[in-house]
Amino acid sequence: MDIDARGPRFGAAVTTVVLAAVLITGSVWLLAWQTLAFALGAAGGVGRSPYGLLFRRAVRPRIGPPTEFEAPEPPRFAQAVGLVFAALGLVGYGIGPEWLGLAATGAALAAAFLNATFGYCLGCEMYLLVRRVAVRAE
> Residue 15: its pLDDT value, please?
98
Q: What is the mean pLDDT of residues 125-137?
A: 93
Evaluate if residue 112 carries a pLDDT over 90.
Answer: yes
Residue 56 DSSP code: I
> Residue 118: its pLDDT value, please?
97
Q: What is the mean pLDDT of residues 43-71?
A: 95
H or E element at residue 3: strand 3-4
Evaluate if residue 138 carries a pLDDT over 90.
Answer: no
Q: What is the mean pLDDT of residues 17-22?
A: 98
> Residue 113: its pLDDT value, please?
98
- Residue pair 50/94 in contact by the 8 Å Cβ criterion: no
Q: Which residues pair with 70 in a beta bridge?
A: 3
Q: Which of 123, 47, 135 minimizes the C-alpha distance to 81?
A: 123
Output the average pLDDT for the chain.
96
Residue 36 DSSP code: H
Nearest-angstrom CA–CA distance, 21 and 23: 5
